[in-house]
Structure 1
Amino acid sequence: MIATTDSATNSAASAALGSCVRRHWSVARAWQTNVALGLIGVALFLLTRQLVSEYDHFTIGFSGVSGWSCILYLGAAFLVLTQPVDRFTFPIILGVAVACRVVALDAPPYLSSDIYRYVWDGVVQHAHISPYRYVPGDAVLAFLRAPHQSIFDKINRRDYAHTIYPPAAQVLFYLITWISPTITFMKTVMVLFEGVTMYALVTLLQALGLRREQTLLYAWCPVLVWEIAGSGHLDSAAMAFIALALLVRFRKRPVLTGIFLGVAILLKLYPLVLFPALYRRGDFKMPATIAAVIALGYASYSSVGVLVFGFLGGYVKEEGMATGARYFLLELSQYIPGLRGLSTAPYYVFCAAVFAVIIWWCWRVAGSGGDNRRKPFASDGVAGFLSPAFGLASALTFLFSPHYAWYIVWLIPFFTLMPNLPILTYVLGFFYLYTTPLAEPGPRMFLANKILYASVLGAFIIQLVLKRWPIHRSLFVQPVIASESL
């Protein structure tokens, strides 16, 4: 009888507490969350269709599509991070993500022509020729043009640039074109790699006690729909292997961590910067595995000698990386008294100092026990390595200020695991400005970067203020709702 009374009392108290929470203006029921997400999802789907139609007929322009997409994405992110969810929420998220990507798959790439080089490199390999040996316009490869004329005609830099893509990328191109040497199939495979990324993110989130519905931050991000489903960029495969590396690092599997990170490096090179964060002090298996994977990859194409590095050196010069002409922070320093005329050497020293600080942070985390589950992202947390990994990825991006949207997509898996206002501002701000006339290299792009970096700085200050004085918690209650299984 006493137990029954206590149970009834507890139930009444819980009901009263639940009623109190529900009375807060910002809290909805799960079905209301689902309806709102469904409506936003339909709007995002229609905007994706509009994006495809904008290729041929101007209506609201790319900036109109991107701007409205960003607004809808913000609304969806707010809902999934602050409102109740149920077992129907995750299927809605997946359904919208798939629908938006399917719409973009069949459309020809418009904002980038890199994918044509992917297909061409695969075709060349099927002719038993190294993709690094000749430029596409070389007369030696003339016999391949007629069967693939529509591909050849749209290859950028075809008359002077050897392929820039590393060995794992070439293996991937070979396998994909072995099945179907078409643009649509290449894009389809890149979207399938996003499925791998989603799997790793869902598994990590649930292992950390977070809601799987948080993957909406990745699945509905408009820049991914544009750059992966729309343009088929290789960065999707790199993201998949990065996400897998994070997952197996969390599970403390050093050999698998080395394999996945090594493959990611052989796809796009820049994941190398994550090595200090994924390293565990005293572990020799992971670095040895990475070295072996990279050595095996380059050895497979070593018959061409130094040509195996392709157009990398030329691309560095062409994009102003060698002279620092396109590094925003270096360019900005020319307007600061006392720093005018600053050369690239001091800037590289500054960059090295920034990375040294983050690597020291990585070293501290690498030596911690990593068993704190209450604060998983703390230095001694079970996922303590994720914060410095995110820091390294962000530092590389901010310091070297990429000018193309596909170079920032690798930040989105980290953002999905650890949402924060500065990176949200950077990703959406970059994406929107990238679709405006300000994306033109020169003074316009410098202005765009000033707007972007100032916005990120403002977002960082706001986040610090909210962390110190969390007034937002009294305005928007975050319910503690468990994610249900399908």
Structure 2
Amino acid sequence: MRAGWAEARPWQTNVALGLIGLGMIAVARQLVVEEDHYVLGHAAVSCVHLGLYLAALLVVWLRPANVDRWTFGVILVVAVACRLVVLFPPPVGSTDVYRYAWDGVVQHAHINPYRYVASDPALAALREPNQDLYDSMNRRDYAHTIYPPVAQVLFYLITWISPTVTAMKTAMMLFEGLTLWGLVLMLREMGLRREQAIVYAWCPLVMWELAGAGHLDATAMAFIVLAFLFRYKEKPGWVGVFLGLAFLTKFYPIVLFPALYRRGDWKMPAVIVGMTVGFYAMYLSVGKMVFGFAGTYVQEEGMESGTRYFLLSLVQHVPGLHGTPNGVFLGFAAVVMLGVTVWAWVVATPKDAKPMAFLRPAFGAAMALMLLFSPHYPWYVAWLVPFLCLMPNLPVLAYVGGLFYLCTTAMAVGYGPKQYLLNEYLYGTVVAAVIIEVILRQTPWTRGWFLPSTDDLPVLSSAVAP
């Protein structure tokens, strides 16, 4: 079968992708309909979207040499079309984007966005001209904004153009374009075809959560990819700039520091520290309130009690281990992340390390963080998709795709038995994917689908340019 596909012509690849792409556009339109009224249900729509995505990946994977100059155009047109379908309707599945726009509006009134909750009487004059933002915002009665200072600067700049959700979603789509551009450049440097960028461009989780919901993670992902580019080019100062921007937008990218650092370099850490001090100084008029809702959020999301951590809950279901405390799990998590740091120090930081040696430990740090802290919001794992684009592997695809689908089902209800069941399915799928990939790598007639592990090119051979 693989040989038959391999003998096909590029136009057949383009036609196949075009037909799948038309299906994706139709699914994106159906998603908008489902947000207005129930027809098929979000679970059915996400299942179809995920199936079309996997079919597209198989077309590119099984026919890597059968592309031409039009193939990437097909990928790009479909990616843009799907995002335009979800741009103008209300955000999909989340109202966070209303808070982004509100924070920008508050700053334009010369008020520190960390000072007041949205319902505070001091902001009453801002409500009437921005009633749609205020009415749709979550946690408006008790939560100060949680978003870090670079995010606040972005909110200010975007709302300076237009204080609307559409403008905010448009900006996030432009950041997505920056991410895609960076990934194409990275693929070229790795000797891979640019068509492999379909892994990111057509990912349904990315379409729904970044373009559809306008989540801020789109900006952090763009900064991360640019940090990768400059790390490859060995420009540590710029690595610091973009990793610093990513960190001061969403916090979690700081786990990439050990992989992106180069021994003996002082520029990268100095830039990050300087940016952190400088950007927080812009908002320090409120003192400790500059950290916003973070402390309450830790409690609300079960991080302090441990209820959000699936691996801890899994251990607590073992007879005799019911009373395992959260502190033990956090200690275990610290040991795992320390192990990843040591791995990065050995593999990626030496001055004679190969240019792409940082990718594996960076990917490892990102994936370890997600598996340990088991986020139950799908957009929290969106930043894994650029890694997946550069280093395709079945377990991470199963994790991203599985969480995307399961979060549209009745199991996605926060905490409790249903959330535990969701994670059982999700982590079980990842384990099964690991076993399947190991078998494929060891089976004689599928072993050739994979490249030997190298520091420069840790990806599937199906994506390698001739």
TM-score (norm 1): 0.91
* TM alignment of 1:2-81, pairs within 5 A: 24=4, 27-81=7-61
Amino acid at match of 1:402: P
Aligned in 2, Cα 1:251/1:58: closer, same or farther, shift over 3 Å?
same
Deviations along 1:235-294, whole A, 9 cap, x unmatched?
Answer: 000100011001101110000000000011110011111101100111111111111111
Aligned in 2, Cα 1:156/1:28: closer, same or farther, shift over 3 Å?
same
Q: Quick check: 2:76–2:201 contact (8 Å CA) kept in 1?
A: yes
**Aligned counterpart for 1:459 among listed residues 425, 433, 440:** 433
Provide the C-alpha distance between the structure 1 equivalents of 2:181 and 2:360, rounded to a whole number of angstroms.
20
Q: CA deviation at 1:24?
A: 3.8
Three-state SS of the structure 2 residue aligned to 1:209 is coil
Q: Which residue of 2 aligns with 1:190?
A: 172
Three-state SS of the structure 1 residue aligned to 2:146 is coil
Q: Which residue of 1 aligns with 2:359?
A: 386
2:262 counterpart of 1:280: yes
**Aligned counterpart for 2:419 among listed residues 430, 436, 445:** 445
Q: Which residue of 2 aligns with 1:418?
A: 391
Q: Quick check: 2:192–2:464 contact (8 Å CA) kept in 1?
A: no
Provide the C-alpha distance between the structure 2 equivalents of 1:216 and 1:252, rounded to a whole number of angstroms.
27
Provide the C-alpha distance between the structure 1 equivalents of 2:109 and 2:448, rounded to a whole number of angstroms.
65
Amino acid at match of 2:27: L
Q: CA deviation at 1:471?
A: 2.8
Q: Quick check: 2:246–2:253 contact (8 Å CA) kept in 1?
A: yes
Deviations along 1:143-186, whole A, 9 cap, x unmatched?
Answer: 11110111111111111110000000000000000000011110
Q: Which residue of 1 aligns with 2:373?
A: 400
Q: Quick check: 2:192–2:463 contact (8 Å CA) kept in 1?
A: no
Q: Which residue of 1 aligns with 2:454?
A: none
Q: Which residue of 2 aligns with 1:10?
A: none
Three-state SS of the structure 1 residue aligned to 2:136 is coil
Provide the C-alpha distance between the structure 1 equivalents of 2:91 and 2:303, rounded to a whole number of angstroms.
26
Q: CA deviation at 1:480?
A: 8.0
Amino acid at match of 1:426: Y
Q: Which residue of 2 aligns with 1:255?
A: 237
* TM alignment of 1:209-220, pairs within 5 A: 209-220=191-202
Three-state SS of the structure 1 residue aligned to 2:89 is coil
- The runs of 4+ residues in structure 1 deviating greater than 6 Å are 474-481
Q: Quick check: 2:196–2:463 contact (8 Å CA) kept in 1?
A: no
Q: CA deviation at 1:326?
A: 1.1
Q: Which residue of 2 aligns with 1:90?
A: 72
Provide the C-alpha distance between the structure 1 equivalents of 2:435 and 2:463, rounded to a whole number of angstroms.
27
**Unaligned residue ranges in structure 2 (runs of 5+):** 451-459
Q: How many residues align?
A: 454
Three-state SS of the structure 2 residue aligned to 1:448 is helix
Q: Quick check: 2:42–2:408 contact (8 Å CA) kept in 1?
A: yes
Aligned in 2, Cα 1:471/1:482: closer, same or farther, shift over 3 Å?
closer
Q: Which has the larger radius of gyration?
A: 1
Q: Which residue of 2 aligns with 1:4?
A: none
Q: CA deviation at 1:95?
A: 0.2
Aligned in 2, Cα 1:70/1:151: closer, same or farther, shift over 3 Å?
same
Q: CA deviation at 1:305?
A: 0.3
Aligned in 2, Cα 1:140/1:470: closer, same or farther, shift over 3 Å?
farther
Q: CA deviation at 1:25?
A: 5.3
Three-state SS of the structure 2 residue aligned to 1:471 is helix
2:140 counterpart of 1:158: yes
Amino acid at match of 1:398: L
Q: CA deviation at 1:23?
A: 5.8
Alignment RMSD (CA, Å): 1.8
* TM alignment of 1:274-353, pairs within 5 A: 274-353=256-335
**Which sits farther off after the overlay, 354-363 or 91-100?**
354-363
**Unaligned residue ranges in structure 1 (runs of 5+):** 1-20, 371-379
Provide the C-alpha distance between the structure 2 equivalents of 1:336 and 1:121, rounded to a whole number of angstroms.
45
Amino acid at match of 1:447: L
Q: Which residue of 2 aligns with 1:374?
A: none
**Aligned counterpart for 2:347 among listed residues 365, 383, 404:** 365
Q: CA deviation at 1:187?
A: 0.2
Aligned in 2, Cα 1:146/1:346: closer, same or farther, shift over 3 Å?
same
Three-state SS of the structure 1 residue aligned to 2:181 is helix
Deviations along 1:98-153, whole A, 9 cap, x unmatched?
Answer: 00000000010141010111011000000000000000000010011110111111
**Which sits farther off after the overlay, 335-344 or 416-425?**
335-344
Provide the C-alpha distance between the structure 1 equivalents of 2:37 and 2:305, rounded to a whole number of angstroms.
39
Q: CA deviation at 1:475?
A: 8.8
Q: Quick check: 2:191–2:464 contact (8 Å CA) kept in 1?
A: no
Three-state SS of the structure 2 residue aligned to 1:115 is helix
Provide the C-alpha distance between the structure 2 equivalents of 1:143 and 1:158, rounded to a whole number of angstroms.
15
Q: Which residue of 2 aligns with 1:376?
A: none
Provide the C-alpha distance between the structure 2 equivalents of 1:369 and 1:466, rounded to a whole number of angstroms.
35
Provide the C-alpha distance between the structure 1 equivalents of 2:3 and 2:363, rounded to a whole number of angstroms.
38
Q: Which residue of 1 aligns with 2:153?
A: 171
Amino acid at match of 1:94: L
**Which sits farther off after the overlay, 23-32 or 299-308?**
23-32
Q: Quick check: 1:85–1:481 contact (8 Å CA) kept in 2?
A: no
Provide the C-alpha distance between the structure 2 equivalents of 1:367 and 1:142, rounded to a whole number of angstroms.
52
2:414 counterpart of 1:434: no
Q: Quick check: 1:38–1:92 contact (8 Å CA) kept in 2?
A: yes
Q: Which residue of 2 aligns with 1:221?
A: 203
Deviations along 1:330-357, whole A, 9 cap, x unmatched?
Answer: 0111111342210011101111111111
Amino acid at match of 1:341: G
Provide the C-alpha distance between the structure 1 equivalents of 2:271 and 2:449, rounded to a whole number of angstroms.
49
Q: Quick check: 2:307–2:313 contact (8 Å CA) kept in 1?
A: yes
Aligned in 2, Cα 1:431/1:130: closer, same or farther, shift over 3 Å?
same
